[in-house]
Structure 1
């Protein structure tokens, strides 16, 4: 597979920003800048596209292992000068702490069938009689399966203070319009009086209490 494509897929799946990408390289002992990362992530037909060499991808995958599993004390693993799909698969397996059964299950989720002996053959040494080369189809489907399981959703846009202030002004304006267009009650009412106030007026300055009427009960 194309090294740049692998880098793009992992960056997309785990939603790494440029700063995180730079940090992943740094954790594996390689200093890179944002411009380099941006060039590696460009589409192949972009004028600013720069091919990612095997050594650089090996460094990133080593850093990816550090990111996911924690960096071990001691000397950092030496990046391979030449990568194969078998090595890339092994590094992904280590980074995500995947067992053989889990990889087979992941692949089945994207309708790709792989047996345990076939998977085991990818981890053999090149000179082993049971060694098998990992084809692009296997690695491509594994990356697709990893994306399906581990894809990190991008966070929603956070409203800026300006947006909040604009919303507050709009809400205030809408409230004023509603108050202005409010329909007055149908019954007669006095400005400033409560609509549901009693219609019986009592003089607050009166010194005499109102007489109570006695009701006569029919005999």
Structure 2
């Protein structure tokens, strides 16, 4: 899925202002260079003037910041390195951690979005890429997960 679409979906889901997106992004790394104007450029439609593609680095910092904002930072552990490449599987994992979702929650979210999947299919998404049962998370699955999570967070509105 396109990084800009993921950022747009999460921003809508949590009803975040541009300034709050910057704040969350900086929770992962206070020195990360992002401003409100950058966020506004990321949120434009790709055919609009001033549209800028959201890089993997920006999305990774935002997702890490979201985990810190929702769960807090464990000071006893060193900070995790930010992902170089953000795949749909990484987005799914980060959102699962940030919202403290269990398997049952994940199944319910996908079912609520009209996209039920089996337990083995779901667990395959969270395996290491070199595992024989690993499965790539497709755009349709991630889109439906974001839709279902939005229904849950916003109360079906």
Q: Is 1:5 matched up with 2:5?
A: yes
Number of the residue aligned with 2:71: 69
CA deviation after TM superposition for structure 1 residue 76, in Å = 2.7
CA 1:26–1:152: 2 relative to 1, 3 Å: farther
1:3-42 equivalences in 2 (<5 Å): 3-29=3-29, 30-42=32-44
Larger radius of gyration: 1
Number of the residue aligned with 1:56: 58
Cα deviations by residue, 1:49-103 (Å, 9 ceiling, x for unpaired): 1001111101100001111111221543221111111111100100000001110
CA deviation after TM superposition for structure 1 residue 7, in Å = 0.2
When the two chains are superposed, the root-mean-square deviation of aligned CA atoms in Å is 1.4
Matched residues in 2 for 1:45 and 1:151: separation?
28
Moved more, 73-82 or 3-12: 73-82
Matched residues in 2 for 1:18 and 1:134: separation?
28
Number of the residue aligned with 1:170: none
Gaps of 5+ in 2: none
CA 1:152–1:107: 2 relative to 1, 3 Å: closer
Matched residues in 2 for 1:31 and 1:77: separation?
19
Cα deviations by residue, 1:81-139 (Å, 9 ceiling, x for unpaired): 11111111100100000001110011111211111111100111111111111111110
Matched residues in 1 for 2:45 and 2:79: separation?
31
Gaps of 5+ in 1: 154-219
1:103-114 equivalences in 2 (<5 Å): 103-114=106-117
TM norm structure 1: 0.67
Q: Is 1:131 matched up with 2:138?
A: no
1:95-174 equivalences in 2 (<5 Å): 95-151=98-154
Q: State the number of aligned residues.
A: 153
Matched residues in 1 for 2:105 and 2:27: separation?
27
TM norm structure 2: 0.93
* Richer in helix (by share): 2
Relative contact order: is structure 1 or structure 2 higher (C-alpha 8 Å, sep ≥ 6)? Answer: 2
